[in-house]
Structure 1
Amino acid sequence: MKKKLCIYICLIFILILPSGCIQKKVQTISTRKYVMYNIGVLPKDLLMLDNDNIRQQDLLLCLFEGLISVDKNDEIVPALAYEWNISDDGLCYTFKMREKAKWSNGRKIKAQDFVEFFSKVLICKNNIYKEQLYCIFGAKDYVENKVDFKSVAITAIDDKTLEIRLNYPCSYFLQILSQPIYALRKDFKYLEDWKNKYSSIMYSGPFNLDNIIENDELCLIKNNEYWDKKSVLSEKIHISSEKMDAFAVADYKANETDIIVNPPISVIDEFIKKNEFFQSPSIEGISLKFNLYKGGVITNSDFRKSINYCINRNDIVENKLEGVGEAAVDYIPENINEESKAVVLDLYSNIDKAKKFLEKSKYNGQKIKIAYFNNKDINKKIVNSIVKALKILNINVSSEGYNEDELKKVINNGEYDILLSNYQGEYNFSMCFLEKYSSDSIFNIYGYKSHKFDEAILKAKIAQTKEKQIEFLNKAKEILIDDMPCIPICFVDNIVCKKNYIKNIEINKKGNIILKRVYVNNNKLKP
């Protein structure tokens, strides 16, 4: 159980720090032609299979490319595969590789490269994504060491044809494959030691890593072997790694960074006035998770529903997020592209209903502790709002914020009743949100178990029609609403601040910054 906890704990943190009063000397810009982008913390490796850090995945999108990808409109688009066909029964996917697809050393990319890639990805240590690929025939047995990879239905028919066969029709399989973590990579030993071996790595994307400068600044240069190099408009991009938001904002104001993502809310108005700000809906939310392993009143669904009715989601979005988000009226963001109905949660608190459910729970004054990551002021504001509401009901509640290392220990030791955490989908389909509550999911570290829910998710996965799939997904959501193991609060928007001379920046629904076509418009540079 502890291993399972450790794999996922890093995913609950939202890495945004409060702004400070840091001043830096503003640099003049006149001839610089390359983009400077801050991604925060650099990855420990270029596999990135043990975390879901969106900013680090931006680097993956620069250096590597998969069979397919998603554009800024979240539409599936060709990448190293120029076309694909799906069999009538929905079980066989055939991808055709581009003739011009090459590694950065000029060697042709072949279908067998993807076969080898998936064989390694599936058995990578602490891979939090492997369950996504269990829809592939033989994949789960291979991970569990029951068969060798020859029994996995990922096959190179020839150098330019890759075939993948599934256990059941999976309507969102292309969404799964479009994620940055399935971008084609090779020589995993170099990827694990990338800071020392970057010159030995074979790149498949629009840029190569050319150098690591002091203070962990990365210099990326255009990959001239990339199949779509004509669309890559920058010869060079610099990636900085200032992990503290206060310093990142200072670098931006001093013209040492051109692009920052999700800055502190307190500075957003300043960027809006300069027309250096844009926002878009995301698939990342903030929620309350209940520690169902701990026992006591927390395990009572009526008590959890009482807390749900105390929450004023509209107030949190308008006054705590200051409008850069939306209230969570469902477990699934409203901008997910499918036809499943929303299971509506209340926008406003309903204290009368909260009192009725609290009475049914037979709450006897047990002390309730809310833990949260104290890396940004918004977390504290949300928790304070909830604590204030719970005290109206005379619930004996306290809250405590922790730094990253402290919170990991608190979660590992189960020293909390309720946890304020972020959650997000890896791709544009509701399954990636809902299946995390399955009993055997690596993401389910809070003790929720429901045979009815597991059955609904399984039936949704193997449903033969879209209509049936939606029906079972809605059933799963209804079960979650009734059991309330987690309370969605809000979904946060993607916020990007960029200089006016930066052109063609794109951001997808998940929040990845796509730098493939970005460039500096020198006519807009300040002399």
Structure 2
Amino acid sequence: MKRIFFYAIMLSFIILFCLGFVNKESNNLSTDDSQETISYGINEIPEDLEKVTNLSKRHEDIICAVSKGLVSKDVDNKIVPSLASEITKSKDGIQYEFKIRDDIFWSDGSKITPNDIATFFKELLKEEDEENIQALLNVYGAKEFRDGKVVYETGVAIKGNENSVIIRLNKADDNFLSELTKPQYTLRKYLIMWRNMKNSYSTLIYSGDYKIDSFNKDQVVLKRNENNNKSGIDTIKILNDDSVETSMASYEVKERDIVINPPESELNKLSEQKKLITLPETKGTYLVINSKSNSIPLQGRRDIYNDVCKATESYQNSNNKEFELAEGSFFREDKQDLTKLQARKVISNKEGEWNKPKILTLLCEDTDENRILCRTIEDWFKNNTNITIKYSLVKEEFEDEELKKRYDMILVNNNANSSDKTDFYNNFKKYLTEDQNKLLEKLLSTKNSGDYSNLEENLFDNYDILPLVFYNENIAISDKISDLKLDGNGNINFATIQ
């Protein structure tokens, strides 16, 4: 009897012991299922996130995930409140009042205050590179503070009161709010500590939808900031991949959920599988035809442009996710102006005689996008004309002005943001003729500097600088994701992932 009793007890222990493992395993599975994790790769994990000067868009994604600005840009390029609930602008365009939301919190649960934002702008003025904070330097007293001539609290027109931040500018700036949407203006506490995120990430607090849970050279792990983000993806893993091809290989074996701009050879397949999101970028490519030496007459420049457009169209017909044809528009938004486009089409169709050369030379910066365009143009001219295209892809040498003079054509990439035409045309300044530069300087010196139509028509009518294509941002997504959006600055908005 004792033996039976002993065996019964032993059997009971064994059963309870095994059930413990079953329950433990069941609980672990339940936890994993309830916490969604999304991963994507970038070509380097940046340890220094204090300044944006040397950061790529994908590096900026980290800043945008863990911090928010007063305002942001949605996917339609519309400026919307973020930390602010409403914005009041004075009639003269000099003063802005940002009413701060009462439901925004740091990742440690403490409330974000107007004083926090005013203090951050003080740090930003001291630490960020000048070219990245031009809008902030237009604030009354900001330059003087940066130069050590005034005290911030009394000399700079950025004030935080009980529920608002008030900013007064030196002069009206129509792009001020647009500038404030950029990553460098998102709220970060103890900005100087962002120089070494590997050592400081765990001691920082964050204003965004996510907080940094771990940070090393191989990956950054973001966890949802439950104070500001109630229903987003729980965990974002940003991993160090050598190239987009490496990311794509990991995607194929379900180890990546997001791949930004996958190789062109993959786009059509991904689109057919409904695993590709295509969004318009502000980036464009323009054809500069070197007319300064008078080696190519007007009719020649016109014919060359028409043929280059035909070449890009032939590529786009079978690869329509890579870019959108400019069709004579300097900005994507201007394609809606059918009257202007029709007038330019009439000009382009003018026929005439000129002595066509046997060889045309083309120079551009060495990028994946430019490689595609050069190859496309070369092949089309070879198959459809008696002209041979010889192109050169260069890196640092692209800044050599003497080198550019030796080429018939140059491909130039520019930020085709129609809300910042001043910056757009300034980027072309080195390619303008003397008369065109005078026209630009006159525009910049007048109050009506937003109207660049005369300069634009001059460039097109003389076939000096001409629009070719506007690029798209292509994003491969896994089965875990049904939707994902970029903001108006081209950064991933992780809070929109579904």
* Cα offset, 1:125, TM superposition: 5.8
* Cα offset, 1:251, TM superposition: 0.9
Tell me the SS of whatever aligns to 2:59: helix
Contact 2:229–2:495 (Cα < 8 Å) also in 1: no
State which of 194, 215, 218 in structure 2 corresponds to 1:216. 218
Q: Tell me: CA distance 1:122–1:141, structure 2 relative to 1, closer, same or farther (3 Å).
A: same
Contact 2:332–2:470 (Cα < 8 Å) also in 1: yes
Say whether residues 1:400 and 2:392 are aligned partners. Answer: yes
* Cα offset, 1:106, TM superposition: 3.9
Counterpart residue number, 1:114? 117
Taking the aligned partners of 2:463 and 2:147, their CA distance within structure 1 comes to: 32
Contact 1:284–1:424 (Cα < 8 Å) also in 2: yes
Q: Tell me: CA distance 1:350–1:157, structure 2 relative to 1, closer, same or farther (3 Å).
A: closer
Contact 1:115–1:154 (Cα < 8 Å) also in 2: no
Counterpart residue number, 2:73? 70
Contact 1:154–1:162 (Cα < 8 Å) also in 2: no
Counterpart residue number, 1:229? 229
* Cα offset, 1:257, TM superposition: 0.4
The one-character-per-residue Cα deviations of 1:26-62 (angstroms, maximum 9, x if unpaired) are xxxx947211122443335223431573222222220
Counterpart residue number, 1:271? 270
Say whether residues 1:496 and 2:475 are aligned partners. Answer: yes
Contact 1:41–1:243 (Cα < 8 Å) also in 2: yes
Contact 2:77–2:488 (Cα < 8 Å) also in 1: yes
Seq. identity, %: 23
Say whether residues 1:326 and 2:305 are aligned partners. Answer: no
Tell me the SS of whatever aligns to 1:72: coil
Say whether residues 1:506 and 2:494 are aligned partners. Answer: no
State which of 361, 367, 372 in structure 1 corresponds to 2:365. 372
Tell me the SS of whatever aligns to 2:403: coil
Counterpart residue number, 1:477? 456
Tell me the SS of whatever aligns to 1:195: helix
* Cα offset, 1:278, TM superposition: 2.3
Question: What TM-score, normalized by structure 2, do the two folds share?
Answer: 0.76
Taking the aligned partners of 1:64 and 1:233, their CA distance within structure 2 comes to: 15
Tell me the SS of whatever aligns to 1:312: helix
Q: Tell me: CA distance 1:276–1:390, structure 2 relative to 1, closer, same or farther (3 Å).
A: closer
Counterpart residue number, 1:24? none
* Cα offset, 1:399, TM superposition: 1.7
Which letter maps to 1:251?
A: S
State which of 453, 458, 463 in structure 1 corresponds to 2:440. 453
Q: Tell me: CA distance 1:411–1:287, structure 2 relative to 1, closer, same or farther (3 Å).
A: same
State which of 424, 442, 446 in structure 1 corresponds to 2:415. 424
State which of 406, 415, 419 in structure 1 corresponds to 2:403. 415
Taking the aligned partners of 1:236 and 1:151, their CA distance within structure 2 comes to: 43
- Structural mapping, 1:22-41, within 5 Å: 31=33, 33-41=36-44
State which of 298, 303, 309 in structure 2 corresponds to 1:313. 309
List gaps (5 residues or longer) in structure 2: 1-31
The one-character-per-residue Cα deviations of 1:250-297 (angstroms, maximum 9, x if unpaired) are 1111111001121112111221232211212221112245799xx755
Q: Tell me: CA distance 1:55–1:107, structure 2 relative to 1, closer, same or farther (3 Å).
A: same
Say whether residues 1:155 and 2:158 are aligned partners. Answer: yes
Which letter maps to 1:284?
A: K
Contact 2:107–2:225 (Cα < 8 Å) also in 1: yes
Which letter maps to 1:499?
A: S
The one-character-per-residue Cα deviations of 1:493-518 (angstroms, maximum 9, x if unpaired) are 22121123214422234432211142
Task: Tell me which protein shows more helix as a share of its residues.
Answer: 2
Counterpart residue number, 1:102? 105
List gaps (5 residues or longer) in structure 1: 1-29, 464-468, 520-527
The one-character-per-residue Cα deviations of 1:224-257 (angstroms, maximum 9, x if unpaired) are 3x4x322x42221111232412111111111110
Contact 2:210–2:222 (Cα < 8 Å) also in 1: yes
Which letter maps to 1:323?
A: N
Contact 1:48–1:181 (Cα < 8 Å) also in 2: yes
The one-character-per-residue Cα deviations of 1:341-395 (angstroms, maximum 9, x if unpaired) are 8577967996976865x89xxx9x998551331x53x523422444578899998
Taking the aligned partners of 1:482 and 1:349, their CA distance within structure 2 comes to: 8
* Cα offset, 1:183, TM superposition: 0.8
**Larger displacement relative to structure 2 (182-191 or 145-154):** 145-154
Taking the aligned partners of 1:393 and 1:131, their CA distance within structure 2 comes to: 48
* Cα offset, 1:408, TM superposition: 1.7
Contact 2:250–2:256 (Cα < 8 Å) also in 1: yes
Contact 2:365–2:398 (Cα < 8 Å) also in 1: no
Contact 1:186–1:202 (Cα < 8 Å) also in 2: yes
Taking the aligned partners of 1:243 and 1:457, their CA distance within structure 2 comes to: 43
Taking the aligned partners of 2:40 and 2:59, their CA distance within structure 1 comes to: 12
Taking the aligned partners of 1:345 and 1:52, their CA distance within structure 2 comes to: 41
* Cα offset, 1:187, TM superposition: 2.4
Taking the aligned partners of 2:274 and 2:198, their CA distance within structure 1 comes to: 36
Tell me the SS of whatever aligns to 1:326: strand
Q: Give the number of the structure with larger relative contact order, counting CA–CA contacts within 8 Å between residues 6 or more apart.
A: 1
Contact 2:284–2:468 (Cα < 8 Å) also in 1: yes
Tell me the SS of whatever aligns to 2:475: strand
Counterpart residue number, 2:282? 283
Contact 1:340–1:474 (Cα < 8 Å) also in 2: no
Taking the aligned partners of 2:432 and 2:151, their CA distance within structure 1 comes to: 32
* Cα offset, 1:218, TM superposition: 1.1
- Structural mapping, 1:44-193, within 5 Å: 45-51=48-54, 53-122=56-125, 124=127, 126-133=129-136, 135-139=138-142, 154-193=157-196
Tell me the SS of whatever aligns to 1:60: helix
